[in-house]
Structure 1
């Protein structure tokens, strides 16, 4: 396995993203940060992907056959792309499919480590295309996450299908003002007026997120998850990392938009996420049975 190979024995010309991922996973294994055989199998599964990438880089160095890259991408990512001059549409497809595959790998890992898929939400936050009077727009994954979070809160807390954004903001501020652990860490939240909270600042923050700005994991704990769990418990919730994956989706969607890809096409590209989720799960299942990574 790769993680047992000393660095001095690795051809530095073959080092790519695989090396960083392999090093990170190796630290987990070295420190035994896993609880079960399935956890261990998952880390080996990731190592197998690293091994695959290093092998492909090595073969390319020796044979310089660009057609081999295309065939490997087709086989492993189910994506057609022709080198040396792929089209803009091919590049968009490759980037989005690679993103979805990588996120499916991470989401699987969090499911394995937490023994639950309750926080696996990427299937539920796929982007939507919207036609407006001014043309076409993309509702990105970050905005859909916030919309669904508000809708779930309306149903669970009010028994309604929806509430206003203003009410949602007020509920968040009230939860912050009543959380002792949060106030101990950030004293400013003690100043919130729970009777009539000022929502101007939080409204601007949410508008930025809905427009595609990325949020930190701490942002998510303080402004979203605080409605469901006390802040002191949120710092130990590994499953919350699944929500942070929404940032990756949003970033790539924004980048595709900035490079001239039509919102309708971006929506169609990301609609394939369930396919990649199933693909990763199937490959992991086969790996746990036979110990080999297969297409």
Structure 2
């Protein structure tokens, strides 16, 4: 079921694979299936040893069995009616469409029209992707793909035949930024804030330092913004990193749900906490050697404002998936020799992609049609 075809696409090219890497807490498609099953079936005892997951690992699971096991309808069509030709049109849009269908099912009684409209908007992108995959399969004309990318990702001279490293990097960055803009459109609707953006504040910056490859990654930008907010909250104009680390460790030690019974007030551990471990984690995050896991965010960042037990499904966790995705993209491109200036320049256009998505959404709300 989860073959290579599930990553095919132009607008959502390799979205499942990249999201898996960025999620940090999911190791494979099968692991995703297990965790999705636990949530939908409300059973934390489900393990990968179950027969259906072994079948998925062997590549023998079909969509009908997948839907039957989870008791969900992932697609708007009867699986039995899918023709062999239609199976060739599958791609990354399939998993996204399934997730959208499940999300919309949970909104049946939701009165806010904007949420319904948003999921319809995202679903229309899946249909768009399906149609272009089908057209490419039928025509086998590269110019069709180039025109599509030029229109939908605003890449002036796309090159899918023999792209240079820089051309590939432009395509990847702009595609990822488009996904991020789609995500932040949801955040704007959820918060009721039309100009809301976390990701705009964490686009990579040029440093000019050889030690960092001339690049301050999105993960580092996020941590700098986090530290600045902590300093502001604590009236510390120039708060030091070591003081931030101490505050985090103290909060963790006081929280009974993290590392067992909370430490008593006045104990030596609270007076002079050991910050070696948290310092190393921050260093790895800053350098892109480690991505943020959702547990990391809860235990080491949100803990400054909330008790651990309060953050299992906290809205502040959501942007970190895309902070990871931005960072992952930057690290991979840097490792493939893409200049820091090129990476910084491309990501500097993120605000333009946010406005592009908002413009397309506004048109969709009026016409129920996508327009590039």
CA offsets per residue over residues 57-95 of structure 1, 9 Å max, x none?
A: 000111111011011100000013123212221110000
State the structure with bigger RCO (CA 8 A, min sep 6), 1 or 2: 1
The answer to whether the 8 Å contact 1:110/1:238 transfers is no
Given the alignment of the two structures, is residue 268 of structure 1 paired with residue 348 of structure 2, yes or no? no
* Residue from 79, 82, 87 that aligns with 2:164: 87
| Residues 116 and 6 of structure 1: CA distance in aligned 2, closer, same or farther (over 3 Å) | farther
Given the alignment of the two structures, is residue 17 of structure 1 paired with residue 92 of structure 2, yes or no? yes
| Residues 33 and 153 of structure 1: CA distance in aligned 2, closer, same or farther (over 3 Å) | farther
The answer to whether the 8 Å contact 1:28/1:34 transfers is no
CA offsets per residue over residues 158-216 of structure 1, 9 Å max, x none?
A: x233211100000111122223xxx2353176498111101111111111111112011
Secondary structure (helix, strand or coil) at the match of 2:208 reads strand
TM-score, normalisation: structure 2: 0.73
Name the counterpart of 2:204: 127
* Residue from 119, 137, 140 that aligns with 1:61: 137
| Residues 20 and 63 of structure 1: CA distance in aligned 2, closer, same or farther (over 3 Å) | same
CA shift for structure 1 position 48:
0.3
The answer to whether the 8 Å contact 2:253/2:259 transfers is no
* Residue from 250, 257, 268 that aligns with 1:184: 257
1:228 & 1:117 partners in 2: Cα distance? 25
* Residue from 221, 232, 245 that aligns with 1:169: 245
List alignment gaps of at least 5 residues for structure 1.
Answer: none
| Residues 117 and 208 of structure 1: CA distance in aligned 2, closer, same or farther (over 3 Å) | farther
Structure with greater helix percent: 1
Given the alignment of the two structures, is residue 243 of structure 1 paired with residue 316 of structure 2, yes or no? no
List alignment gaps of at least 5 residues for structure 2.
Answer: 1-73
RMSD: 2.2
The answer to whether the 8 Å contact 2:212/2:287 transfers is no
The answer to whether the 8 Å contact 2:178/2:353 transfers is yes
Map 1:136-215 onto structure 2 (within 5 A).
136-157=213-234, 159-179=235-255, 183-187=256-260, 190=263, 193-212=269-288, 213-215=290-292
1:135 & 1:113 partners in 2: Cα distance? 36
Name the counterpart of 1:6: 78
The answer to whether the 8 Å contact 2:364/2:370 transfers is yes
Map 1:42-81 onto structure 2 (within 5 A).
42-79=118-155, 80-81=157-158
Given the alignment of the two structures, is residue 291 of structure 1 paired with residue 364 of structure 2, yes or no? no
